[in-house]
Amino acid sequence: EGLLETMREPLLVIDKNHRVKSANAAFYSTFDVPTKETEGVLVFELGKKQWDQPRLREALEKILSLQSSFQDIEIGFDFPGGERKIMCLNGHRLMQSDIREELILLALEDVTAHKLLQERNDTFVSMASHELKTPVTTVKTLVQILQKRFESSEDTMLVEYLRRMGQQIDQLSWLVNDFLDISKIRSGKFEIESDLFDIDSLVQEIVENYQLLSPHHTIRLEGRANVRVKGDRDRIGQVLINLLVNAIKYSPKASEVIVSCSATR
């Protein structure tokens, strides 16, 4: 009890029936509740039942039976005056050796500021990624046109510079897409499309595009799958591009990359 009182974080001790045994001063200060409305009360009844969350119920049920702990369960609490805070809950099983009573220690951390900062960062990354995609795509297209125009030029230095420029633009494009995907995943807006498409046309499209960007390798496409698949065409395309780029990147002394396409049933 003395240790609990020295902690700055709000702490609760509850029994195996999920009733509050005690709370420290930081808990009462944070939630501004009297002792009589806390001790002996079912934890799910606290704060006008704001604690009654399915994830917390499940975690508390398991913690004693499995003799385990849990971390990072986030709960939003509405405070008087309209203030809303996000609290992160961690739970740990305790045992009072003298009376063999099983208890649970709940530690709370106010992560409101951290979540707000994370949301702002995600918003910035998302906006920046969207704004960067258009100029990067435009520059990439212009470089491809120049590469096609000067591929037979006697100015080998110019051809080499265009090739290197194309590689750097590809890397920048991948970085932009990665940032965009990360921001979508964090915000819960990352979606996988599911449509029927011709896998052969996708493979051929990727091979033709990267043949332009890799003049020092001959990319040869062998075989056809002759099937339509259901999935996210863009995401599957990214996987194929990764495979092709790695094949080119890690075979600098080779002159040919073979892409074999077939259906296995």
Q: What is the pLDDT of residue 196?
A: 93
Angle between helices 112-150 and 199-213 (to 10 degrees): 70
Nearest alpha carbon to residue 246 among 227, 236, 259: 259
Ramachandran region, residue 38 (left: φ > 0; alpha: ψ -120 to 50; beta: rest)? alpha
pLDDT confidence band for 197 (50 / 70 / 90): very high
Q: What is the pLDDT of residue 68?
A: 75
Separation between Cα atoms, residue 85 and residue 78, nearest integer Å = 7
Nearest alpha carbon to residue 91 among 7, 4, 2, 13: 13
Nearest alpha carbon to residue 77 among 105, 101, 111: 111
Within 8 A by CB and 6+ apart from 102, the residues are: 15, 16, 64, 93, 94, 95
Are 86 and 110 contacting, i.e. CB atoms less than 8 angstroms apart?
Answer: yes
Could you report the per-residue pLDDT of 202-257, keeping only the tens digit for each?
999 888 877 877 777 889 999 999 999 999 888 888 888 888 888 888 887 888 99
How many alpha carbons lie under 13 Å from residue 26 in its C-beta half-sphere?
A: 17
Q: What is the pTM of this model?
A: 0.49
- Mean pLDDT of the 152-179 span: 80
Could you report the per-residue pLDDT of 22-74, keeping only the tens digit for each?
888 888 888 888 888 888 989 888 888 888 888 888 888 888 777 678 888 88
